[in-house]
Structure 1
């Protein structure tokens, strides 16, 4: 179980103007819920970014608010891609004696046999939902893919059993598998070939008809009598 601490300040003003002032002074507005009473806090932006390079739901954070310590999980956050900063945080207060549900990341290790045979290893499921007490919350789940051949796969039901941890994600979900490289077909589709062949045949018939018409016209021209010269009467 991974655990970290954050020193935060409780805030009483939640106006838009106050929130804007907080952000300008390097604070992240946040809320803590899950207890009998929700309350708002301000988190130091520099400290949070330094300690949490990656935001994950499975890290237990102890918030130090004055003389009070509250264990929480990050349940949600709002990020401004334009400003490249966290705009708001939602913390969920946990009870150490009650089971909680959260998501745990899945990491792959090793080089699959199928990769050496020309296959591609695809990691499809990057996290799994679990239910457990806070003390049993795993930091991550590691899968060794070394023995995976082409067409082999790992399902949620095949994940290693962890004491006190129940997997909520469907057991039939595929975590990863090794597949063959898709072959590129450069030949034209059969239908296209048929259409082109039909067009060629029609073109050939048209050409033959034209040639026949030209021959008939030529023959007719030869059979026609010559016109009498002007100024002379026919006898």
Structure 2
């Protein structure tokens, strides 16, 4: 489970696109904090500090403000049009005793024997799972062991090993990962009938954010 980390923040006085660009040139990211029927606050975060948070895969953290510390969920990240730079962050207030809904990355472990011979191709329809869990117990990822997955076999949501207290909200019969025949995968690609895999990081938006 991910442990909460501390992220320092300062109140943001300005607003607008020009102000946001000025902050980013200074190595800062504009952000907003809302939720729990409390006043919405405009904040400024150090880009370097937030990069550290991202490397730790933290989803719930303590935002340290001059007057108090707020426990928050990283609700949404907005990226520039190239998808390389975070231009805005949405933080949502949470309490230690509540359950929240978040998206958690699916992490494949091992190598699928059915995809090693050349006859099969690994196909992963679900790269993320929508889950409900305690605010302080958001999993870093949902690990899926594919070391025994043979050609023609699939692992469904209902077959996953889920951490205690976590409820998966996806369809229980949905395929998470499977090994399909290479010729079927090629045929689907040529006809355009194959389903495209879900993007791992859905928070990316092609927008120059401004609250």
Counterparts of 1:181-220 in structure 2, within 5 Å, are 181-182=182-183
1:90-135 CA distance string (max 9 Å, x none)? 1111121111000111111111221234311112211101111123
1:65 Cα shift? Answer: 0.5
Give yes or no for the alignment of 1:125 onto 2:126: yes
Structure 1 residues 161 and 41, CA, compared in 2 at 3 Å: closer, same or farther? same
Structure 1 residues 34 and 19, CA, compared in 2 at 3 Å: closer, same or farther? same
1:25 Cα shift? Answer: 2.0
Query: Equivalent residue for 2:90?
Result: 90
Counterparts of 1:153-168 in structure 2, within 5 Å, are 153-168=154-169
**d(CA) in 1 for partners of 2:183 and 2:99?**
45
Q: Is the 8 A contact 1:136 1:163 kept in 2?
A: no
Any unmatched runs of 5+ in structure 1?
186-235
Query: Equivalent residue for 1:24?
Result: 25
**d(CA) in 1 for partners of 2:18 and 2:143?**
46
1:53 Cα shift? Answer: 4.2
**Radius of gyration: which is bigger?**
1
Structure 1 residues 20 and 147, CA, compared in 2 at 3 Å: closer, same or farther? closer
**d(CA) in 2 for partners of 1:20 and 1:176?**
41
Query: Equivalent residue for 1:198?
Result: none
Query: Equivalent residue for 1:232?
Result: none
1:45 Cα shift? Answer: 1.4
Any unmatched runs of 5+ in structure 2?
188-211
**Match 1:41 to one of 40, 43, 46:** 43
* 1:37 counterpart SS class: strand
**d(CA) in 1 for partners of 2:65 and 2:178?**
46
1:82 Cα shift? Answer: 4.6
Q: Is the 8 A contact 2:60 2:136 kept in 1?
A: no
Greater RCO structure (CA 8 Å; 6+ sep): 2
Give yes or no for the alignment of 1:143 onto 2:162: no
TM-score (norm 2): 0.78
* 2:150 counterpart SS class: coil
**d(CA) in 2 for partners of 1:138 and 1:94?**
16
1:166 Cα shift? Answer: 1.0
Q: Is the 8 A contact 1:110 1:144 kept in 2?
A: yes
**d(CA) in 2 for partners of 1:131 and 1:164?**
8
**d(CA) in 2 for partners of 1:97 and 1:22?**
35
Which segments of structure 1 move beyond 4 Å, counting only runs of 4 or more? none
Q: CA RMSD in A?
A: 2.3
